[in-house]
Amino acid sequence: MEQSDTKKIKILFLFAVVLLGFIIFLGTLFYWATIDRRLPKLEHREVNHALRGNIISSDGFKIATSQKLYKSIVDTRNIDPKKIELFIKLYSLYSGDDPKNIESILNSNTGSTVLSYRIDSKSAKYLQELSRKFYKLGVFKSYEDPKTGVAFLHGLSVLESGEDRLYPAMDSVTPILGYVKKIEQKNITKTTGVKGVERYYEDKLSSVQDSLIVGSRDISNAIILDGNSVSTRRFDGYDVHLNVSLKMQKIIENVLDKQQKNLDAKEVVIAVMNSETGEIITLASSNRFNPDGIAKKDYSALNISAIEYIYEPGSVMKSITFALLLRANKINPYDLINVYGGSYKIGTKVIKDTHKADKLSAEDIIVYSSNVGIAQISQKLDAVEFYQGLKDFGFSVPTGVDLPFEHPGVIPALNKFNSPIYKATVGYGYGMNATFMQVLKAYNVFNNNGRIITPILVKKLVSQTGQEIFPERSPEPQILPVAVAKRMQKILIKTVQQGTGTGTKIAGLEIGGKTGTAHIAEDGEYVRVYNSSFFGFANDKKSKYTIGVLVREAKKKYAYFAAQSAVPVYKEIIEKLVENGYLVPSPEILNN
């Protein structure tokens, strides 16, 4: 009995030892299965991030484009000390980095180390090839972790770090081109539009879909592309194609730079628009910046004055007022108007003319820019006709041009137009605020048979697969009868032939327009600072262009008069259009 019990105890003890050993065995297996042994994964995922679309001029130049940026990483513990000089020499040769800088980074870091964050696509491919060569040259050796006793071998890794936005044309086409800011998305640096075309078309320019490759990898970490691998295609953002020609833009910008210096002006803004389609072939400012490196001194140039700066437009509004009178059949162009020698009193306000006369025909009020004349005939419009007429011409509402942050401008409330003094002052462009683009759009009506059309900068958007999207066009309502538009066209041509715009005459072209010189108000009072402008058109036998010039705060003596500032700029713009084939003078177009 005792022997039987002893035997049972021995068996139980043996079973306990075996069980304990089995438990230890299972625990060991579990430990090695769950710890990070830095073994290469059998399956590898590689993401190729899509890029922001390009912005392309009408003559085919990329004026905004994106490139990938990469970072290179190496584990210093895996570099053979005997071959570290070879590593530094070859890496620097392939990357273009300074060898001394690379040596300093390696000497001051232990473990996984970033050698560079700004590697372009071309250099990244070279470095990826170099990584494979390093393995063959034995530059990398296995390293055993003293904590775990596990050996690992990590070579040179070249990984995507984000994208960089480039502007090859530098400051050209700014500020309408706009600029971007950097944002972080899943540890990748991306860009998003802040101003200009970059902002307005953000939803189309931004990348659509990253590509993904999943598959086994070889010893050099390259994915093996076979029947078991999976991949999806990369789709970059749409390319935005402008109506703006880079060549013409640069020519015009050179003119503005020269004129701003000559006139000692705060800014000079010009636009040239196809009168029949609304396509803007150039919209330029003398105040520009390089989007690649915006400095504090550039801050004032970041806003687009053509759509964000509001001002009292002055005498260019006389043409609009006169067109409304013709539309309402309230005036005959040949009516004689007493202008009282250039001085006239309405209530307590005395209105004066620069060009003094006793009597003028109604149309000559525009030709010779009479404040007294327009102040009187504007009284013929009732409040609704005047107020609604200005809105029909696009004042106090955005023009719809494809740029962000457009200011709608301001006109007096309807009841204000019951006041004779408000009718008079708004009639010659005071007591209201407009943008440059609003005045350009309004003047285009005279050169487009009475139809109002929305200015547009972008011709089309093109996807990576060639799909084309054309911007939606707004309706083009007939706001003036054709006969009235034609009559206004003739009056503006007469203004160039005989009146305040004679400085813009060019033989063989049909040129019309109107000057505007306006005081600038500061703290509720008008000061001796002026904006001058000229808006009109230039046509040949085939092409029709609406053109606007705004000179802000010219300080040169007498340059505040539009005839001394905006008019010569306007003429030079037309000359450049002729030189570059946009307009062709013809002896059949007579200039009387």
Domain segments of the chain as ranges: 246-579
- What b-and-e string marks burial along 320-344, b requiring 16 or more CB atoms within 10 Å of the CB? bbbbbbbbeeebebeeebebbebeb
| CA-to-CA dists, residue 108 to 103, 115, 123, 466, angstroms | 9, 12, 24, 50
| Confidence (pLDDT) at 71 | 86
Mean per-residue pLDDT for 111-123? 85
| Confidence (pLDDT) at 218 | 57
Which pLDDT band holds residue 489 (cuts at 50, 70, 90)?
very high
- Identify the helix (H) or strand (E) that includes residue 116: strand 112-119
Based on DSSP, count helices (H) and strands (E) in the chain, helices before strands: 16, 25
> Could you read off the pLDDT of 176-225 as tens digits, one per residue?
999 999 888 777 888 999 999 999 999 999 987 776 666 566 555 555 55
Q: Is the pLDDT of residue 104 over 70?
A: yes
- Identify the helix (H) or strand (E) that includes residue 231: strand 230-232
Helix crossing, 84-95 with 121-137: angle to 10°?
Answer: 160
> Could you read off the pLDDT of 439-467 as tens digits, one per residue?
999 999 999 999 999 999 999 999 988 99
d(CA 138, CA 409): 71
| Confidence (pLDDT) at 461 | 97
| Confidence (pLDDT) at 69 | 86
> Could you read off the pLDDT of 407-422 as tens digits, one per residue?
999 999 999 999 999 9
d(CA 504, CA 274): 19
Q: What's the chain's length in residues?
A: 592
| Confidence (pLDDT) at 252 | 97
| Closest-CA residue to 182 (of 69, 54, 289) | 69
Mean per-residue pLDDT for 98-116? 88
Which pLDDT band holds residue 96 (cuts at 50, 70, 90)?
confident
Residue 194, Cβ neighbours under 10 Å: how many?
16
- What b-and-e string marks burial along 2-17, b requiring 16 or more CB atoms within 10 Å of the CB? eeeeeeeeeeeeeeee
Say what the pTM is: 0.84
Which of 26-35, 150-159, 239-248, 484-493 is predicted least confidently? 26-35
Does residue 497 or residue 523 have the better pLDDT? 497
d(CA 201, CA 223): 36
Q: Is the pLDDT of residue 31 over 80?
A: no
Residue 583, helix vs strand vs coil: coil
d(CA 89, CA 251): 47
Q: Is the pLDDT of residue 318 over 70?
A: yes
φ, ψ for residue 72 (rounded to 5)? -110, 135
- Burial of 91 from C-beta contacts in 10 A (0-12 / 13-18 / 19+): buried
Which pLDDT band holds residue 359 (cuts at 50, 70, 90)?
very high
Q: Are strands 525-539 and 343-346 parallel, antiparallel or unpaired?
A: unpaired
| Confidence (pLDDT) at 136 | 85
Pick the CATH number of 246-579 from 3.40.710.10, 3.30.2020.30, 3.20.20.70, 3.30.420.40: 3.40.710.10
> Could you read off the pLDDT of 253-279 as tens digits, one per residue?
999 999 999 999 999 999 999 999 999
Q: Is the pLDDT of residue 587 over 50?
A: yes
Q: Are strands 43-48 and 211-216 parallel, antiparallel or unpaired?
A: antiparallel
